């Protein structure tokens, strides 16, 4: 007799999730949030199409773990946007999913209570509420698409999407990106290979068909038309940065050879700053100098920033956590963020 041991032998349980449509009905997109998302996407597309000369800046916490502190940060950023809007489009980094080399906290959606209870259903709802709150402020949002199902729950609240260094080479993520409604930045590989990201941009620009879910939670064949707004994010790798003018020129040549627009974003964090958050302003300054000297391909930057600089471990007693301090990668603090963006604003006012 054939037993059920032949499948799911390592699965301990299945827990039901609300469908995307059910969550959308519970937390519907407001008119103001809708306008924020659509305006943000249009501005990003115009920057990538060279219709808008501004630089877009994806800036914010490495990951969201405290929605109160996250909204505090968002209000500060929204206020700063009014100061620099002539030269920069600020997009808040709102990351809920964290890839892990081995183990560790996987993010707000996976474990919102940070106690290994893994209430993904609660995390998804809390993530959607947070995005709604940020968009209600008039601030566009950016996130990393890690789980291919999450965009059905949250995609209507996102203006820009990143595909991380560990997943840029993944066919699943290239297919997913081809159907996303946002511009998508593909990071180069962890070894620094830019070719992986170039191939991802090319792949995601084409139509694809793959398995996914519909808004009603039904397993479906998803057919996409391709995403015309993929671009490369230089984040360094192989223990060396790649934001210098030579590395940028090499990336430009790779995009040209592939017949793709020369759109490049520099991630001021990760290997470009040797994972030392305090070096991010130096990376930003170098990028500004390249733009001042006439570079046309650098269209955006990414910055890991929080209210308080550095990072902290997750304690057993969550009440002991430092307010506004990252629990994942280290970030620069708010005062340094303001100084960094105001300095860049002054540099960009003098661009050719």
CATH of the domain at 200: 3.20.20.70
φ/ψ (deg, to 5) at 150: -55, -40
28 belongs to a structural domain: yes
126 belongs to a structural domain: yes
User: In the chain, what's the furthest Cα-to-Cα distance?
Assistant: 78
Q: What is the mean pLDDT of residues 331-344?
A: 98
Q: What is the mean pLDDT of residues 205-230?
A: 97
In percent, the amount of the chain with pLDDT more than 90 equals: 93
* CA distances to 94, 105, 260, 265, 324 from 189, in Å: 22, 22, 19, 14, 30
Nearest to 18 by CA among 213, 175, 176: 213
Domain carrying residue 240: 15-46+53-349
Is a pLDDT exceeding 60 seen at residue 1?
no
Position with higher pLDDT, 87 vs 98: 87
Which tokens in the block code for residue 293?
A: 């000297």
CA 265/CA 245 separation, integer angstroms: 13
pLDDT for 116-169, tens place per residue? 999 999 999 999 999 999 999 999 999 999 999 999 999 999 999 999 999 999
Mean pLDDT of the chain: 96
DSSP 298: E
4 belongs to a structural domain: no
8 belongs to a structural domain: no
315 belongs to a structural domain: yes
341 belongs to a structural domain: yes
6 belongs to a structural domain: no
How many structural domains are present in the chain? 1
200 belongs to a structural domain: yes
Nearest to 70 by CA among 23, 26, 108, 32: 108
């Amino acid at each position: 007799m054939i037993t059920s041991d032949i499948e799911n032998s390592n699965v301990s349980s299945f827990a039901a999730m609300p469908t995307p449509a059910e969550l959308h009905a519970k937390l519907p997109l407001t008119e103001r949030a809708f306008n924020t998302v659509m305006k943000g996407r249009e501005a990003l597309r115009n920057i990538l199409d060279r219709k808008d000369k501004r630089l877009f800046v994806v800036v914010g916490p490495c990951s969201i773990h405290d929605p109160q502190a996250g909204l505090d940060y968002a209000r500060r950023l929204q206020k700063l946007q009014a100061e620099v809007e002539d030269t920069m489009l600020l997009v808040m980094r709102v990351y809920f999913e964290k890839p892990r080399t081995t183990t560790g906290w996987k993010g707000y959606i996976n474990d919102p209570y940070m106690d290994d209870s893994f209430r993904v259903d609660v995390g998804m709802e809390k993530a959607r509420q947070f995005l709604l709150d940020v968009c209600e402020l008039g601030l566009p949002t950016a996130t990393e698409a890690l789980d291919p199902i999450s965009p059905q729950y949250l995609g209507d609240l996102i203006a820009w999407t990143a595909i991380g260094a560990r997943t840029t080479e993944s066919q699943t993520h290239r297919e997913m990106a081809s159907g996303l409604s946002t511009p998508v930045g593909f990071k180069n590989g962890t070894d620094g290979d830019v070719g992986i990201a170039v191939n991802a941009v090319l792949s995601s620009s084409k139509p694809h068909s793959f398995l996914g879910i519909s808004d009603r939670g039904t397993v479906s064949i998803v057919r996409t038309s391709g995403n015309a707004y993929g671009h490369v994010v230089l984040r360094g790798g192989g223990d060396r940065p790649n934001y210098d003018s030579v590395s940028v020129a090499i990336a430009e040549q790779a995009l040209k050879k592939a017949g793709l627009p020369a759109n490049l974003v520099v991630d001021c964090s990760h290997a470009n700053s040797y994972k030392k958050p305090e070096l991010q302003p130096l990376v930003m300054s170098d990028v500004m100098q390249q733009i001042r000297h006439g570079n046309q391909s650098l269209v955006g930057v990414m910055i890991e920033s929080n209210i308080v600089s550095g990072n902290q471990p997750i304690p057993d007693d969550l009440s002991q956590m430092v307010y506004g301090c990252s629990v994942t990668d280290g970030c620069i603090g708010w005062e340094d963020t303001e100084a960094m963006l105001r300095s860049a604003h002054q540099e960009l006012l003098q661009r050719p």
